[in-house]
């Protein structure tokens, strides 16, 4: 990010014909977008949301209301355009690309998704590592490749991240448990709709996975391999890839932010390119946001995933670009600024 | 609002191919929009934000950083299209109409604003009532008239409310003081940017106005007359007028919500048509929202007015209409719903 552009942006915002600071959190977000894109008149015309999909062996422990088959079924739903992310991405003016990092299903190679399958689902992390270190690295590299591919063609001004994977709130909660050190009771959320009993089971399963695999927070690739997921690796790679291309990234909720967290642990500079789209109702998400030092743009008590929170937040980021470029200054409209008096 | 449509909307939302309740606060908002508009496939194509302007005699007590002249200067800025509300309304696909309810300035009758001036600014409420009861009623009627006029031509699917008036956070804070009974220290915010000393003065001036005028919360028109404002009356009328035409209204921050509060005190049924666009940083706003039983859609620490929070929230309301109409159900996409299992 270009710090001179950031200063110029903040100066222009402070001189606009309105009370100083009155556009609240839009102002620092606008300045950050300008610094990332290297100009005051930022245009986020080419938006893509990449929804990374993968399955989770830990589902056999009974941590989700839905069976693993639903991951593949939802991929077909995304391709057909009837899912939540299709609707909200269309509303945001964004394309949706679905990436298969590790769904337990053989998709026809002609299916219009990004075919990046590393393996058919992770292993059950409650009985051993979710995947090998090589597989984890391959999932991150796949995400970096997708970001590069989109940036090359059709071009990319703003990347949104999203996820699909039955069982992936369990893996994501394990990751934030590693980095926050907080008890699982505080971190585990209902995912697709667990009741109290289901939450207890989920916490116990994660505890077992952590005790067994002993992930080391200083080794993020190891954390991803031991208790993560293939789509989470892909999401981490998307963030790193976009950051390397100087493209802002807006993250969705728990799972996308787990990917962003791994990305920032692997590559701290990537954090400067991330915007938190929304605050998920999943409790662990708040701790991820704190870890990353991010304040979410929206807080609508959503907990859907797929990239839906990122899609909704894209409108706010577009608004940030417009306020910076288009609101006139006191000087331009001939009104005396109280702060200059 | 049509309660049968609301039930049908909630049922459809619950059957969509995603975890139940996962779209959080978008879901009840979508159902409420459907019930107001009387259909599941709501289209909010024709959006207008009405920015009501008026001046305040109490400014002579030193409660604002800006002089009253800035109200008229900003009206010209709105007409020329360079103000914050122009930029954010354009981004929301909304028209802006500026209404002069009581600016202390003679506008050319040919100026493209809604000419509804009741008087040139209120009197100083710290030394007597802000206006007469008849003037207060006329300001409310003017707002009702504007809503009807817009609904007749060009047609109106969603009304946003906004304000401009140097000194109007003082009047709005007085109104919420009347209805909350809370001490002014808790209610008074910095407006255009007061420091601690300025806040103390503002609280003392409001206290004086309340002690002198003794507004009775059971008499909302009296409250408006004694410690309100001409644009606040207009904003109350807009809400009542839109509600009478079954048109949803999205309110901006402190001043617009003060108008909505007066509207609901005059006509409680109007509350069913109101959406709170955002949570203002002005402290009194939170108490107004509580009084009205509203949860704001956005919380971006904004405190600008003009209708900017309403404009940003319009995108969220549009999203609500799309999720209800366009996301497919489990049955439609052939996936088994966990909740039915």
With contacts defined as CB-CB under 8 Å, which chain A residues touch B302?
22-26
Q: Are residues B191 and B109 in the same domain?
A: yes
Picking from B284, B264, B283, B282, the residue whose alpha carbon sits closest to that of residue B272 is: B264
Q: DSSP labels for B181-193?
A: ---HHHH---TTT
Percent of chain B with pLDDT over 90: 94
pLDDT at A119: 98
| pLDDT tens-digit map of A117-150 | 999 999 999 999 999 999 999 999 999 999 999 9
Q: Does residue A75 sit in the same domain as residue A11?
A: no
For the stretch A100-123, pLDDT in tens is 999 999 999 999 999 999 999 999
* CATH number for the domain harbouring residue A35: 1.10.1610.10
Give the pLDDT confidence score for residue A341 in this predicted structure.
41
Quick one: A34 and A114 in the same domain?
A: no
How far is the C-alpha of B194 from the C-alpha of B302, rounded, in Å?
15
Q: Which domain holds residue A59?
A: 47-316
Q: Is the CB of B88 less than 8 angstroms away from the CB of A304? A: no
Q: Which of B20, B70, B90 sits opposite A335 (nearest CB)?
A: B70
Residue B189's pLDDT is what?
84
* Contact yes or no for A303 and B90 at CB 8 A: no
ipTM: 0.96
* Six-digit token string for A281: 């109702």
Do A286 and A329 lie in one domain? The reply is no
- Same domain (yes/no): A131, A271: yes
CB-based contact B189:B238 (threshold 8 Å): no
Residues B86 and B139 reside in one and the same domain: yes
Average pLDDT, chain A: 96
Instruction: Tell whether B67 and B100 lie within a shared domain.
Output: yes
Q: What are phi and psi of A17, to 5 degrees?
A: -75, 75
* pLDDT tens-digit series, residues A284-322: 999 999 999 999 999 999 999 999 999 999 999 999 999
Check whether residue B143 and residue B237 sit in a common domain: yes
Are B14 and B132 in the same domain? no
Distances (CA, A) of B21 to A44, A200, A302: 31, 21, 8
Q: With contacts defined as CB-CB under 8 Å, which chain B residues touch A19? A: 65, 191-193, 303-304
**CB of A42 within 8 Å of any CB in chain B?**
no
B333 and B214 belong to one structural domain: no
**B115 strand-pairing partners:** B100
Report how many domains make up chain B. Answer: 2
Euclidean distance between CA atoms B289 and B306, whole angstroms = 18
Same domain as B128, residue B22: no
Indicate yes or no: CB of A328 within 8 angstroms of CB of B26. no
Q: What is the structure's pLDDT at B340? A: 52
Angstroms from A300 CA to nearest CA on chain B: 5
Same domain, B293 and B220: yes
Tell me: pLDDT of B139 over 80. yes
Is residue A19 over pLDDT 70? yes
Which of residues 196 through 235 in chain B touch A, CB cutoff 8 A?
none
CATH number, domain at A133?
3.40.50.10210
Q: Each residue of A231-254: pLDDT tens digit?
A: 999 999 999 999 999 999 999 999
Strand partners, B52: B99, B163
């Amino acid at each position: 990010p270009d710090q001179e552009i950031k200063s110029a942006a903040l100066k222009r915002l402070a001189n606009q014909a309105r009370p100083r600071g009155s556009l609240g959190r839009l102002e620092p977000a606008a300045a950050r977008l300008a610094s990332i894109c290297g100009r005051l008149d930022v245009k986020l015309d080419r938006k893509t949301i990449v929804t990374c999909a993968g399955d989770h062996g830990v589902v056999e422990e009974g941590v989700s209301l839905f069976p693993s088959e639903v991951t593949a079924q939802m991929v077909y739903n995304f391709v057909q355009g009837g899912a939540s992310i299709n609707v909200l991405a269309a509303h945001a003016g964004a394309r949706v690309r679905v990436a298969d990092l590790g769904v337990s299903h053989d998709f026809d190679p002609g299916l219009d998704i990004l075919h990046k399958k590393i393996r058919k689902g992770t292993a059950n992390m409650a009985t051993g590592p979710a995947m090998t270190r090589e597989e984890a690295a391959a999932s991150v590299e796949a995400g970096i490749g997708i970001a590069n591919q989109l940036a090359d063609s059709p071009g990319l001004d703003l990347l949104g991240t999203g996820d699909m994977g039955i069982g992936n709130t369990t893996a994501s909660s394990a990751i934030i448990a590693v980095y926050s050190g907080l008890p699982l009771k505080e971190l585990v959320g209902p995912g697709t709709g667990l009741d109290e009993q289901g939450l207890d089971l989920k916490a116990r399963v994660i505890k077992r996975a952590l005790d067994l695999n002993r992930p080391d927070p200083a080794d993020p690739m190891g954390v991803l391999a031991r208790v993560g997921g293939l789509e989470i690796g892909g999401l981490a790679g998307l963030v790193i890839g976009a950051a390397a291309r100087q493209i802002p990234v807006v993250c969705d909720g728990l799972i996308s932010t787990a990917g962003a967290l791994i990305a920032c642990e692997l590559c701290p500079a990537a954090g400067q390119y991330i915007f938190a789209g929304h605050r998920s109702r999943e409790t662990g998400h708040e701790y991820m946001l704190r870890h990353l030092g991010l304040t979410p743009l929206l807080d609508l008590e959503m907990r859907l995933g797929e990239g839906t929170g990122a899609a909704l937040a894209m409108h706010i980021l577009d608004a940030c670009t417009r306020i910076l470029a288009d609101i006139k200054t006191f000087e331009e409209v001939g009104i005396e600024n109280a702060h200059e008096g």
